[in-house]
Amino acid sequence: MTEIVELLRAGRDPKTHQLFIAGEWVDSVSGETFESLNPADRRDVVGRFQAGTAADVAMAVRAAEMALPRWKATPAPKRGEILYHYGALLADNKERLARAMTREMGKVIAEARGDIQEGIDIAFLMAGEGRRMAGETVPSELPDKWAMSIRQPIGIAGIITPWNFPMAIPCWKIMPALVTGNTVVFKPASDTPHCATLLVELMAEAGIPPGVVNLVTGAGAEVGDAIVESPDVSVISFTGHTSTGKHIAERAARRLKRVSLELGGKNAIVVMRDADLELATDGIIWSAFGTTGQRCTATSRVIVDGPAIGPLLERLEAKAKKLRLGYGLDDGVDVGPLINPAAVEKVGSYIEVGRGEGELVLGGAVATAGDLANGNFFAPTIFTGVEPMDRIAQEEIFGPVLAVMPFRDAAEALAIANDVRFGLTASVYTSDLSTAHAFARDVEAGFVWVNDSGRHFLGTPFGGFKESGLGREEDTEELYSYTQTKNVSVLFE
């Protein structure tokens, strides 16, 4: 906490940041600002940010509309070169950005560096797509006729992003939107506006022309809804809570907008009796308590073959007890804070639910020892004896809470894993190849791990089944979210 103490002692007035519209940093028409606080120590004000309004969104949309013809006409390889330069700038500034992220969002510095690296990697990946923006040519059924298809940008993309991956996710969305020739109006989560501001500053430095990317900070009800409702925004990409995603989809449908949604999860790890329990324990601990459980991919259910429950619980409890909570820039810290007091309250309410549904093995309380009292810290929590239809086994908690439940055979394990309204990720730990293949084939999830959990790789499609979302991100499949296909037929003699 040394860095925070020094900041507080300095007593410096936090910087007031602005919106970025048409290549200029400007104040909101509202004249209002809001504060972003360090979740590890709420006394530390990261900065003040503009409380954007529908009028600000209208100006950003107009700027994007004015910039669209020129950006669309810029050759895709040239657009890719600019994205490559942006990726290089992210790499040059990686440590500075990671430290800023830990201060504003709370994740430990190693995870923050990984977040930035994903932004770097997607910038480079999409830069290359500038030279692979291919359509198709097909044989014509008529003589002297040439048939082909081409992909073209949709128009203005509304990008609405969450706080838990405050640099990676904006890059996942904005980079493919830009390389395909769209312009962008970007609304970040109100818990992490500084991270978004730093990203956009580097985009301008990389040479992205004025109006191509526009940043409007502020509340979802003001800024987010205005982006979704704008008749000039043609595609919406959103990551966040499932209920918000449904709200966006309903509103966008009235104007037949293209929508890409990456939503919630209630992800399961299945542990067979023949599993390597040490390997499974490491995977569960990382997946459940990394990022303080604040990932849509986090494991919140562990479904265990009956005879393995006792040995697995012993290992989980022993390793979870060793996890150190604290400020993510301090040495030796494993788990950072929850994002805000409302998240602490929500997790606490589920602990009370869990006490009535299962047996508390570990945790179950706000962490307040020493400096932790100034932040939003919650102890890693494990319940056992949970039934598959219990609330803590069905509802997304988005915190460091794990429900452990037994199964009798592989069919029951699969049924429990699938019997939720989400379908984002799933894992199985087993030494049997047939079991692994059958699980991967039959589980209802967009991302499946075998003898691993919680790690995904750029260049493979990321997204979920059921209420976990629509569309895919992080690979070339995402390009289809931002393009429309045109069929061209040419007669020649």
As annotated, the active-site residues are 262, 296
Residue 191: both structure tokens together: 């818990």
- CA torsion angle 421 422 423 424 (round to 10): 180
Q: CA 218, 469, 169 angle in degrees (round to 5)?
A: 50
The token duo for 367 is 């962490």
**232: which 2 tokens?**
């000039």
**Joined tokens for residue 233:** 């925004």
Burial (Cβ within 10 Å: 0-12, 13-18, ≥19) of residue 420: buried
CA distance 242 to 185: 22
The β-bridge relationship of strands 447-450 and 425-429 is parallel
Number of Cβ within a 10 Å radius of residue 472: 19
Measured CA to CA, the distance from residue 414 to residue 407 in angstroms comes to 9
